[in-house]
Amino acid sequence: MDRLEDLASSLETLAFHGFQTPTVGNGEKESPAIEILRIKEQMSNQCFEMTVKLQSGESKRSCSASDAEKDLPDYVNTLEEAKITHFNKTLALHRMQVWHVISEKLKQRDPEAEAMRKLTNHSLDLCLKIKTLQQESFELQDQITALQKQRLDLKRLTHEKMKEMEELKTKGEHPVAEEYRNVLQKAQSYLEKYQKMVAIEQNVLRGIIIASKVNWREDPKLREIAMTLEDITISDD
Amino acid sequence: MGNDVLERNLVLVERMGLTRGLPPEVISTMLDYAMSLRMGGAPCVRVLKFLIPATVVPQEAIVRAVAWLCVGKIAISTQVLFLKWVLTFFDMIDSKDHLRSIYGFIFNFVTEEHLCPYICHLLYLLTRKECVRPFRVRKLLDLQAKLGRQPFLLHLLSLYKVFCPELVTTALPSKLRGGFKNHVTPWKGVLNAIQKRNTGQVTSDIRLTIGVKDGSNSRKRKCNHLQLPSLNSAVQRNLSSTNSRKVFPLEQLHSFPELLDNLHRIELPSQMGSLLGSSLALCYLDYVQDDSAFLRLNFWLGHALHEEFLFCSREGGSGCSSETLHFLNRLISTQNFLQEGFFSTESFLYKFLNVWDGSLLRPQILGLLSHIPVVPSSCIHQLLFEPLMQLFFSSTLFFKCSVIECLNDMLLKWLTWHSVYSVEDGLDISLNSHTPMNMTLSGFMDSVMELVLFVGRLATVGLQLEGCSSLLLSFVLDFYETVCDMFLKFELPLVVMPPVGVFYPALFATDPVSVDRLCFIMCRYKQNLTAAKFQQQEAKHVFHISSQTYREFNRYQLLMVSTLWNSRLFQPGMAVEVDHNLLALSKVPEPSASFTLIRHPAFVGYALDFHLKCWPERKDMDLKSVKAGKHWEWYLEFLFSHGYLGLQQFVQSNINWHPGSGTKSQGQGDGQPTNG
């Protein structure tokens, strides 16, 4: 019974102290309960230190440079987003505070407030003007864009028409081409043959004139010949 | 032993030539005299050096001189000097058809190694389609094998290729850098003196091409060409009628009906730069779509731009002469007229952006920039965005505004082009009439998306740097006015919401105009999204607007209604969430209601004005009384009557509030499109 009483009283003391180990003088002998508490505290401290060490060890991951580069845009984006959010919140708070003070001031009746009210009215008038001008410029811009669309459309149509014209030109003019086709082809081949001959002759003649180192300009007949050496219709005009 | 009589006469002619220039007959005679070597080689060189024409050079004189060249007695250096002379004064030759008749004779000299570059240049200026023959192509290719890929040969070959692609089958670089060199050096000083003497100002009758390498002399080249057409036509009227001629020179066009009559036989001038001034010439260029003309024009343009801005180093001065301004303005108006850009301008701009300081000729450079055709999304970052970003961050407020305006213009042009040229859900759109690059619809949408996102980023950072300046905000909202209507106005199935960095500064803006515009933009977004959803359900188009876009829109809507109407700004769950302890620190009563329509910085002036009008005798103003009863309705009308149509539209379409109800009800935000 006595021992139970002792235990109960020591537990009571402990509870009173909030389960912390009371500081004991060096000479005093500790009761076993207090010893156990002390050991518990030590162990919990050690466990805490170990957890901390483990956690710091976890963050040391090995990663290669290319892995880091891949993650970099994401981190940059996160950073930017955080910056923007911070800026916006700061802006909102700042504006809220400043304008609260301003509106309080504007409500009063002293000369400073009077001056501020005049300024406010003036800026509101300007805003009205700005609004009308902006409306005008918005409508004008719409008109300009519509006009540009129309012009570009016209340009496209013009090009299409020109292409059609080219196709019509190359198609030829004879509706009754079937009958004349053979004749035309023969004529064409003769023409080409003679054109080639003429070209060769022209080249030869030009070569002779150049090689002879004569001034072809002086003699009128030679000049006439020389000036026509380039004339040949290869493409049908 | 000098010949005194000869010497005296030569000195007389020389003096006249060097001071005032020589008339055409004198040019003829003197040229013939010199090239015939009647008195030896030295007088020939001397004569060539003072043979400055006053008005025109008769082409027969040149023909005769070429004949003397064929005789072969002239020293090579003198031949080179003669060719340089022809090239320098080429624009003053009255007509070129005789020269074309002796094309073959001129071509013959291409084999002379020392003469080759000059002959190639001369041939480049004279070539027509008929001149391109297989044997000439072969000769040039042989020369190329011997001399290597010289630029002058490459230029001539590429011109041949433009005329007859089937004859020139070798691969040629599509964009040749630089051009033919200027050969004006022997006459440079004299030309300057004559110009100064003749008129004393920049614009004068004698326009000569003066290329400057060291930049110490002013450049008159660009203005020059613009005056040439009138010069030539003044001469032509003296000659026989042009009806018998096969071709109709472009310089003689004076009216649009004339252009239509002669459309099939117009001959382009040798100096392509002169086209930039005349709208008739540009019409012709546009209709006929002549590749060789565009090649030559781009060539000249690229050369002029490079020399002016990239290669020439200016000693002192800002390089911003009036001619440069004039030239660039001309170029911009040309591109506006044709509604497309030149590819030489485009490549020049990409290079120039990397070295630009942001202030030299800013309006002109940005004006040129807005004409750049759609850039594929794979290279848009490197070519366009990187240099712009670098310039943007350290620039003035006005530069930031100008860049955003320029990109807005660019977007408008891209969208206009798309709405005209993409036909019936066509997937293959040819990008530019002259570049065969094709772009699919999705590629185009990618590029547009990249551009819009880029401007969003620029705007966000710009607003942060400039403290949410109203001017910058106004330009940014201009851009988003274009973006919000991409679907309904331009039939492009793309909707991109503005980023938070733009939305919040606009919502919390201190001027009512910005808030009103934001409301208007949000209304337009709603209409675009509703229309898109409707069409998607009808399965008319195959496009798909992502659910994320709808979510973003809903979030913004909710936020706007909560802020402006519901007094729920800083509450948890809203995007701008602030801890209530922090709010309490600010000592502002009812912080969540600090941006409603009566306390918003933009509208508090109106609220106070309204209060004064309603209760003029009240000493202490209490804005809450505006909310009571009929006054709220009147206040809203009062607000809308100041022209804030956007705000009115927003309130009417999104807020379930019935005027006429007794108390001001806490309107619930409404009208959010459901998720897709």
Measured between its terminal Cα atoms, the distance across chain B in Å is 102
**Range of lowest pLDDT (B146-160, B177-191, B271-285, B393-407):** B177-191
Q: What is the mean pLDDT of chain A?
A: 82
A216: domain range? 180-231
Q: Which residues of A touch B594 (CB under 8 A)?
A: 96, 99-100
Give me the mean pLDDT over the B99-123 stretch: 89
How close, in Å, is residue A174 to chain B by CA atoms?
21
Q: Give yes or no for a contact between B416 and A152, defined as CB atoms under 8 angstroms apart.
A: yes
Torsion on CA atoms B149, B153, B157, B158, rounded to nearest 10: 80
Query: Is the predicted pLDDT of residue B412 greater than 90, yes or no?
Result: yes
Q: What is the mean pLDDT of chain B?
A: 77
pLDDT, position A181: 80
Residue A227 forms part of a structural domain: yes
pLDDT, position A219: 84
Q: How far apart are CA B410 and CA B371, in angstroms?
A: 6
Query: Is the predicted pLDDT of residue B229 greater than 90, yes or no?
Result: no
Query: Is the predicted pLDDT of residue B375 greater than 50, yes or no?
Result: yes
What was the ipTM of the complex prediction? Answer: 0.71
User: B601, A95: Cβ pair inside 8 Å?
Assistant: yes
Q: Which residues of B touch A91 (CB under 8 A)?
A: 468, 504-505, 508
| A interface test, pick of B101, B433, B492, B649 with most A CB neighbours within 10 Å | B101
| SS3 annotation, chain A | CHHHHHHHHHHHHHHHCCCCCCCCCCCCCCCHHHHHHHHHHHHHHHHHHHHHHHHHHHCCCCCCHHHHHHHHHHHHHHHHHHHHHHHHHHHHHHHHHHHHHHHHHHHCCCHHHHHHHHHHHHHHHHHHHHHHHHHHHHHHHHHHHHHHHHHHHHHHHHHHHHHHHHHHHHHCCCCCHHHHHHHHHHHHHHHHHHHHHHHHHHHHHHHHHHHCCCCCCCCHHHHHHHHCCCCCCCCCC
pLDDT, position B175: 58
pLDDT, position A223: 85
Residue A195 forms part of a structural domain: yes
Minimal CA–CA distance to B606: which of A135, A103, A105, A115? Answer: A103
User: A153, B420: Cβ pair inside 8 Å?
Assistant: yes
Measured between its terminal Cα atoms, the distance across chain A in Å is 134
Chain B within 8 Å of A88 (Cβ-Cβ)? yes
Query: Is the predicted pLDDT of residue B149 greater than 90, yes or no?
Result: no
Copy the structure tokens of residue B195.
């110009």
Tell how far CA A182 is from the center of its chain.
Answer: 63
Residue A78 forms part of a structural domain: no
Q: How far apart are CA B26 and CA B13, in angstroms?
A: 9
**Long-range contact set of residues B160-164: C-beta below 8 Å, sequence gap at least 24:** B160/B127, B160/B132, B160/B136, B162/B291, B162/B292, B162/B295, B163/B127, B163/B128, B163/B129, B163/B132, B163/B292, B164/B129, B164/B132
Handedness of CA A81, A83, A84, A88 (dihedral sign): positive
How close, in Å, is residue A171 to chain B by CA atoms?
17
Chain B within 8 Å of A208 (Cβ-Cβ)? no
**Range of lowest pLDDT (B238-252, B313-327, B351-365):** B238-252
Handedness of CA B637, B638, B643, B649 (dihedral sign): negative
How close, in Å, is residue B395 to chain A by CA atoms?
21
**Range of lowest pLDDT (B84-98, B418-432, B439-453, B519-533):** B418-432
Residue B276 DSSP one-character state: G
Residue A5 forms part of a structural domain: no
pLDDT, position B659: 59
User: A92, B621: Cβ pair inside 8 Å?
Assistant: no
Q: Give yes or no for a contact between B298 and B442, defined as CB atoms under 8 angstroms apart.
A: no
Confidence class of residue B499 from pLDDT cuts 50, 70 and 90? very high
Query: Is the predicted pLDDT of residue B433 greater than 80, yes or no?
Result: no
**Range of lowest pLDDT (A203-207, B225-229, B265-269, B375-379):** B225-229
How close, in Å, is residue B138 to chain A by CA atoms?
14
How close, in Å, is residue A64 to chain B by CA atoms?
26
pLDDT, position A143: 95
| Whether the model pTM is above 0.90 | no
Residue A47 forms part of a structural domain: no
Confidence class of residue B672 from pLDDT cuts 50, 70 and 90? very low
- Tell me how many degrees the CA angle B314-B316-B322 measures, rounded to the nearest 5: 75
Is the pLDDT higher at B103 or at A1? B103
**Range of lowest pLDDT (A14-23, B34-43, B48-57, B149-158):** A14-23
Q: How far apart are CA B249 and CA B258, in angstroms?
A: 12
Q: How far apart are CA B333 and CA B371, in angstroms?
A: 11
Q: How far apart are CA B557 and CA B548, in angstroms?
A: 14
Query: Is the predicted pLDDT of residue A153 greater than 80, yes or no?
Result: yes
Phi, psi of B57 (to 5 degrees): -115, 120
CB atoms within 10 A of CB A133: 11
Q: Which of A130, A202, A203 sits opposite B513 (nearest CB)?
A: A130
Q: Which of A93, A120, A134 sits opposite B586 (nearest CB)?
A: A93
Q: Which residues of B touch A199 (CB under 8 A)?
A: 133
User: B504, A91: Cβ pair inside 8 Å?
Assistant: yes
3-state secondary structure of B597: coil
Q: How far apart are CA B511 and CA A99, in angstroms?
A: 12
Copy the structure tokens of residue B58.
């008769």
H/E element, B329: helix B322-338
pLDDT, position A144: 94
Q: How far apart are CA B261 and CA B444, in angstroms?
A: 39
Q: Which of B246, B339, B513 sits opposite A152 (nearest CB)?
A: B339
pLDDT, position A28: 53
Q: How far apart are CA B25 and CA B191, in angstroms?
A: 20
Q: Where are the alpha helices (DSSP H) in B539-655?
A: 547-564, 580-585, 604-614, 630-640, 645-654
Q: Which residues of A touch B105 (CB under 8 A)?
A: 206, 209-210, 226, 229
- Among all residues of chain A, which has the CA nearest to that of B461? A84
H/E element, B438: strand B438-439
**Range of lowest pLDDT (A29-33, B297-301, B313-317, B514-518):** B313-317
Residue A135 forms part of a structural domain: no
Query: Is the predicted pLDDT of residue B187 greater than 60, yes or no?
Result: yes
3-state secondary structure of B19: helix
Confidence class of residue B174 from pLDDT cuts 50, 70 and 90? low
Confidence class of residue A30 from pLDDT cuts 50, 70 and 90? low
User: A134, B71: Cβ pair inside 8 Å?
Assistant: no
Residue B374 DSSP one-character state: P
Residue B57 DSSP one-character state: B
Confidence class of residue B427 from pLDDT cuts 50, 70 and 90? very low
Q: How many CB pairs under 8 A join A and B?
A: 174
Confidence class of residue B251 from pLDDT cuts 50, 70 and 90? low
Write the DSSP string, B280-320.
Answer: HHHHHHHHH--HHHHHHHHHHHHHHHIIIIIIPPPSSS-S-
Give me the mean pLDDT over the B418-425 stretch: 72
Tell how far CA B307 is from the center of its chain.
Answer: 18
Q: Above pLDDT 70, what percent of chain B?
A: 78
Q: Which residues of A touch B130 (CB under 8 A)?
A: 230, 232-235
Counted domains in chain A = 1
- Tell me how many degrees the CA angle A16-A18-A24 measures, rounded to the nearest 5: 80
Is the pLDDT higher at B639 or at A18? B639
Residue B22 DSSP one-character state: B
Chain B within 8 Å of A159 (Cβ-Cβ)? yes
How close, in Å, is residue B103 to chain A by CA atoms?
7
- Among all residues of chain B, which has the CA nearest to that of A232? B130
Query: Is the predicted pLDDT of residue B471 greater than 80, yes or no?
Result: yes
Give me the mean pLDDT over the B290-306 stretch: 76
3-state secondary structure of B248: strand
pLDDT, position B173: 66
Residue A8 forms part of a structural domain: no
Tell me the per-residue pLDDT of B643-655, one tens digit each, with 9 for 90 and over.
898 999 898 888 7
Confidence class of residue B130 from pLDDT cuts 50, 70 and 90? confident
Chain B within 8 Å of A150 (Cβ-Cβ)? no
Query: Is the predicted pLDDT of residue B513 greater than 90, yes or no?
Result: yes
Give me the mean pLDDT over the B7-35 stretch: 85
Residue A209 forms part of a structural domain: yes
Residue B382 DSSP one-character state: I
Confidence class of residue B558 from pLDDT cuts 50, 70 and 90? confident
User: A162, B289: Cβ pair inside 8 Å?
Assistant: yes
Residue type, A60: K
Residue with tokens 């032509």: B236
Copy the structure tokens of residue B149.
């890929």
User: A152, B601: Cβ pair inside 8 Å?
Assistant: no
How close, in Å, is residue B451 to chain A by CA atoms?
18
User: B288, A162: Cβ pair inside 8 Å?
Assistant: yes
